[in-house]
Amino acid sequence: MARVLRINPREKFATWEDALSAFLREKQAGGLAERSLNDYEWHIRRFFAHRPDAWSQPEALEEAVLEYFARLAPSKPSFFNTARRKLNTFFRWAMHIGIIPSNPVVKVRQRREGETPRAAAEEELAALVSFLKRRQDTFTGLRDLALLLFSLDTGTRPSEALALLPEHFNLRSYEAYIPAHISKTRLPRTVVFNAQTAKYLARLINARPAAWGPAVPVFCSENGQRMLVSSWAHRLKRYSRELGINVTPYTLRHSAAILALRSGATAFYVQRQLGHTSLNTTRRYTVLVEADLHRENAQCSPVNRLLQVRERVRKL
């Protein structure tokens, strides 16, 4: 009988780069979005840049992980938890195929994140809209205004919005289709926007040179190149600095959800627009400020209707 040659996983993946390549290929084959793949690679490379010796010394891996997250302690909980999720998934995979004996990240506790999403004040957004309306005589100014309005109207993720092509927009029905390969959740959806947003989108699309063709995204650079989320974030940071506000691409997404809810939208509408796979995620946006609660109580309390008491002012 022929002998079965068994390959030691440690020998097959002698370096962490080899393991990372195999891990990412498996995730890609499973349909993971490009942005998520890039996030995994960035966090894993960041860890090994801090401790490049950790892979060759399995006994030191747990110490390296604990030291790494101790260094991340001052960072925001959202960043800390994202790093933990990415490394936990990678090391769990490595343990499953026998490269390492155990997952060192299990000893790192997830940090508690704030429950209230970060949103801009309505007056700050109004100032930003006015600021960009004065700059719509250039392609970049018009693009930034259209992208701002589209983001606030639909709550689309920045990475999704920047990948949309002209064919994905139906300006007559005020709809945009987000295909599965663009969607972060890998699920297609249709978002809707109003007539004002459609007007600026039409102007932006009409301003495109014919030579660009249909494969150039709608929200592209002035040279017809795909715009990065980091570039959009940089532009919003510059505008914010001039206006004395603080608006980021994800601030626009959070603001879209909260302002829609405050204007009477249902949680199901917000879930569909933002592309949440679970209504539990959407419920984070239903948190209202104290003034909203008082106003809604004054308008909706059944006590006001049940008592219907007319108080008379008596002589004091």
* pLDDT tens figures, 11-47: 778 899 999 999 999 998 888 778 788 889 999 999 9
CA–CA separation, 110 vs 108, rounded Å? 7
Three-state secondary-structure class, residue 67: helix
Q: According to the model, what pLDDT value does residue 295 have? A: 61
Q: Is residue 233 part of a domain?
A: yes
| Calpha distance 192→169 (Å, rounded) | 10
**Do 137 and 40 fall into the same domain?**
no
Identify whether 313 is part of a domain. no
Torsion angle defined by CA atoms of residues 141, 142, 145 and 147, in that order, rounded to the nearest 10 degrees: -110
Asked whether residue 98 falls in the same domain as residue 137, the answer is no
For 308, counting Cβ atoms within 10 Å of its Cβ (0-12 exposed, 13-18 middle, 19+ buried), the class is exposed
| pLDDT reported for residue 214 | 95
Same-domain status, 128 and 79: no
Residues 276, 210 share a domain:
yes
- Domain end position, chosen among 107, 132, 154: 107
Q: Is residue 117, in this structure, part of any structural domain at all? A: no
Residue 97 falls inside a structural domain = yes
Same domain, 127 and 90: no
Is 241 part of any domain?
yes
Can you tell me the distance from the alpha carbon of 149 to that of 139, in angstroms, rounded to the nearest whole number?
15
Give the total number of structural domains in the chain: 2
Lowest-confidence segment of 54-63, 151-160, 226-235, 303-312 by average pLDDT: 303-312
Residue 50 and residue 160 in one domain: no
Residue 111 near residue 104 (C-beta atoms within 8 A): no
Residue 315 lies in a domain: no
Question: What CA–CA distance (Å, rounded) separates 161 from 153?
Answer: 12
* Separation between Cα atoms, residue 87 and residue 69, nearest integer Å: 11
Contacting residues for 207 by C-beta, under 8 A, at least 6 apart: 139, 142
User: Domain check: are 62 and 198 in the same one?
Assistant: no
CATH number for the domain spanning 41: value is 1.10.150.130
Q: End of a domain among 59, 83, 107?
A: 107
Determine the 3-state secondary structure of 30 from DSSP.
coil
18 and 87 in a single domain? The answer is: yes
Q: From CA 180, how far away is CA 189, in angstroms rounded?
A: 8
pLDDT at 294: 60
Tell me the pLDDT of the chain averaged across its residues.
Answer: 86
Task: Give the angle 152-153-158 at the CA atoms, nearest 5°.
Answer: 55
For range 49-76, the mean pLDDT = 87
Residues 94 and 147 grouped into a single domain: no
pLDDT recorded at residue 35: 77
Which run of H or E residues covers position 289? none
285 vs 114, more confident: 285
Residue ending a domain, among 107, 141, 173, is 107
142 & 284 share domain: yes
Q: Which residues contact 58 (CB under 8 A, 6 or more apart)?
A: 100, 101
Q: Is residue 299 part of a domain?
A: no
- Model pLDDT for residues 271-307, shown as the tens digit of each residue: 999 998 887 777 777 654 445 556 666 666 777 667 7
* Pair 92, 145 in one domain: no
d(CA 129, CA 127): 5
More confident residue, 305 or 197: 197
Q: Which domain holds residue 21?
A: 9-107
304: in domain: no
CA distance linking residue 299 with residue 304, whole number of Å: 9
272 plus 153 within the same structural domain: yes
